[in-house]
A and B are shown apart, each in its own frame.
Chain A
Amino acid sequence: MNTKNFNRITLTALLLVAVLFPFFADFYILCIGISVLIAALLGQSWNIMSGYAGQFSFGHAVFFGIGAYTSTTLYTMFGVSPWLGMIIGALVAALVGAAIGFLSFRYKLRDDYFALATLAFAEIFRILVNNTSALGGATGILIPYLVKPSEYQFASDKTYYWVILALVAFATVFIAVMSKSKTGLNLVAIKSNQEAAAALGVNVLKYKLIAISSSAFFAALAGTFYAQYYGFIDPSIVFASSISVEAIVPCIIGGSGTLYGPLLGALLIIPLQEICNSLFTSISGINMIIYGVLIVLFIMFCPDGIYGRMTKYISKRKGN
């Protein structure tokens, strides 16, 4: 009981800090805060499908890009509010995810082969959009900035911050509820051993599809937010493999398959990148070198991630 209360108090305090953060941050710091939250949302998205369900995606950019392009084209071509566009984009991404998943899992792709397939799908989408002039082609789409909250455009970056914070909170609550439910148990069971799960009556294909669809849904939310916040998208940005990696890294560093791991991971990696970028302004690519070094270090010495290592340590101490 005591630890439960303690957890609850810590969580409330942290949430309060997160909500009030814009009042204490200057513009630059606030921008970093928003970047952290975008990475956190992508991370949580990847976490569902790859962390919990163990289906390793290397092409999360495909869902991010679909979210960004769906809401943006609906807005610029048909005047649909990006709020609605965001939901539609997320649903489209979920459908595409289900289609990719159905093809891959139906043909029993696993591990590296599945990861390669997701990578190829992301590339295919990038090339398709790149060559579709109706979608702006390689030049991309510039979103007119009209400052209308009803159209997902705000005067202040503070508001953008709260929107993405709300989306991250939504994803985290979703995962919290899911992980304690039948679905969550089944996903983790599938990750451990899908043959054994099937022997216990788990419809493996169905649950993998649930995982990839809900994962895609959240990645697409991040995509729409990105488009609205930066006001410009093109295929080489939103379908880039670096987006796919940005979904993975917070999970690896924080701990994949844990509720708070990706949040912690994003909170560490993004500011670290920013610091390095500002320290070595003359050297391009230094932030990505940091990515690389951290990936190597964590995979080699702390594959459970920071949060994962912490919880394992605590539960071990409890066990003894």
Chain B
Amino acid sequence: MNMQFFQAFLDGTLMGGVYALAALGLSLIFGVMKITNFAHGAMMTVGMYAVYVVSTSLGISPYIALVFAAITLFALGYIIQHFLIDKISDAPTHNQLLLTLGVAYILENGLLAVFSPNYKTLNVDDFDGAIQLGAISISPEKLVAFAVVLIVTAVIYIVLYKTRIGKAIRACSQNKEGAKLMGIVIKKTNAVAFGIGALCTGIAGALLTPILSIYPTLGETFQLKCFVIAILGGMGNLWGALISGLIVGIVESLTGYIAGGSWSDLTVYAAFILILLVKPSGLFGRSNRREH
């Protein structure tokens, strides 16, 4: 096989992992609250800046600063759900969608106001250059990012499947009325679920910070990708989000390699519309949508 092709494949897989984590958060939020979170990208950017600020001001490794970003984002998500979205939980879906859009504008432009639109680059000295395996070179930042994604995902699964709050979240995502009858406090469960969703996207952002130059609207690009992945995997389907994250990463990287960078986004969006039209329940079956 062509080595460059393999290189593109590998890069795509590693980036796909990061996409998958962010999309996992989006899918979780949709699964529980039935809300398409338009603030997802902005929350990711908040994660990026959190790492940037903590890492540069304290002079610590971004991978330690990541913990701080995770906590911030969890709190942010919890607050957004608890104080805003929960108050209009009976409103039509497009109002909830708009509310998250409003939040996105506040976050994104808040960052813009504080940090200016200039690109910021984090210099990482944890590694000394790319790892060379024959003709293949692997960026250590991407490799670490992928490893962290695996760890975080595992932890989230343990939380969702082994802890009480996790079980409550899953119960709410399957049947809200039933969950209420079982004595689950919906309000708190929703807020925790939103917090975890925000934490996922925040960590994804944090992991991208050493790889990319960051700016306040960077998250927007990733947001649409998250929608693509979450819908491809079936909104609310967490395993689906992980697998489609990898698929999107790889497809994007390969089309970039074959046809040039700007066409890779186009392929992803075109595929997205196709999926929406033909199989809105995603690649892996059942949908969360109403019958009809």
Contacts and interface: CB of A to CB of B under 8 A. Distances in A.
A and B touch in the complex (CB under 8 A): yes
Interface of A: 50, 56, 103-104, 107-109, 111-113, 115-117, 119-121, 123-124, 127-128, 130-131, 195, 241, 245, 248, 252, 283-286, 288-289, 291-296, 299-300, 303
B277 A127 contact: no
B105 A295 contact: yes
Size class of B's contact patch? 35 or more
Interface string B224-257: 1001100100000000000000000000000000
B224 A123 contact: yes
B280 interface: yes
B94 A289 contact: no
A12 B22 CA distance: 54
Contacts of A295: 98-99, 101-102, 105
Interface stretch (B85-93, B153-161, B167-175, B181-189): B85-93
B83 to A, nearest CB: 10
B219 interface: no
Interface of B: 36, 84, 87-88, 91, 93-95, 97-99, 101-113, 116-117, 216, 220, 224, 227-228, 231, 262-263, 265-266, 269-270, 272-273, 276-278, 280, 289, 292
A293 to B, nearest CB: 6
A127 B113 contact: no
Quick one: which of A107, A121, A252, A300 has the most chain B CB within 10 A? A300
Contacts of A245: 101, 105
B105 A289 contact: yes
B17 to A, nearest CB: 23
Nearest to A112: B36
A248 B280 CA distance: 25
Contacts of B269: 120, 123-124, 127
A293 B99 contact: no
A288 B270 contact: no
Among A108, A116, A252, A286, residue most surrounded by chain B Cβ atoms (within 10 Å): A116
B105 A288 contact: yes
Q: 3 closest pairs, A vs B, by CB?
A: A292-B105, A295-B102, A285-B112
The dominant DSSP class at the A interface is helix
Nearest to B230: A116
Contacts of B117: 284-285
A112 B273 contact: no
Contacts of A119: 224, 227
16 contacts: A103-B273, A103-B277, A107-B280, A113-B289, A116-B272, A116-B276, A124-B270, A127-B263, A127-B269, A195-B292, A245-B101, A285-B111, A285-B216, A288-B109, A292-B106, A300-B88
B88 to A, nearest CB: 6
A249 to B, nearest CB: 9
Given A108-B292, A117-B276, A120-B269, A288 B108 contact: yes
Contacts of A107: 276-278, 280
The binding surface of chain B is classed by DSSP as: helix
Contacts of B107: 292
B113 to A, nearest CB: 5
B103 A127 contact: no
A289 B109 contact: yes
Contact of A115 (B94, B220, B266, B289): B94
Contacts of B106: 289, 292-293, 296
B276 A113 contact: yes
Nearest to A195: B292
Given A113-B276, A248-B98, A299 B88 contact: yes
Given A111-B94, A295-B98, A300-B87, A127 B265 contact: yes
Contact of A289 (B95, B110, B266): B110
A145 B30 CA distance: 50
Contact of A116 (B36, B116, B220): B36
A113 B292 CA distance: 14
A304 B41 CA distance: 28
Given A120-B228, A245-B101, 19 more contacts: A56-B97, A104-B277, A107-B280, A109-B277, A112-B97, A113-B276, A116-B227, A123-B224, A123-B265, A131-B263, A285-B108, A289-B109, A289-B110, A292-B101, A292-B106, A296-B84, A299-B102, A300-B99, A303-B95
Contacts of B111: 285
Given A291-B105, A295-B98, A128 B266 contact: yes
Nearest to B34: A112
A130 B262 contact: yes
B32 to A, nearest CB: 15
B222 to A, nearest CB: 13
Contacts of B270: 124
Contacts of B263: 127, 131
A292 to B, nearest CB: 3
Nearest to B88: A300
B215 to A, nearest CB: 12
Contacts of A103: 273, 277
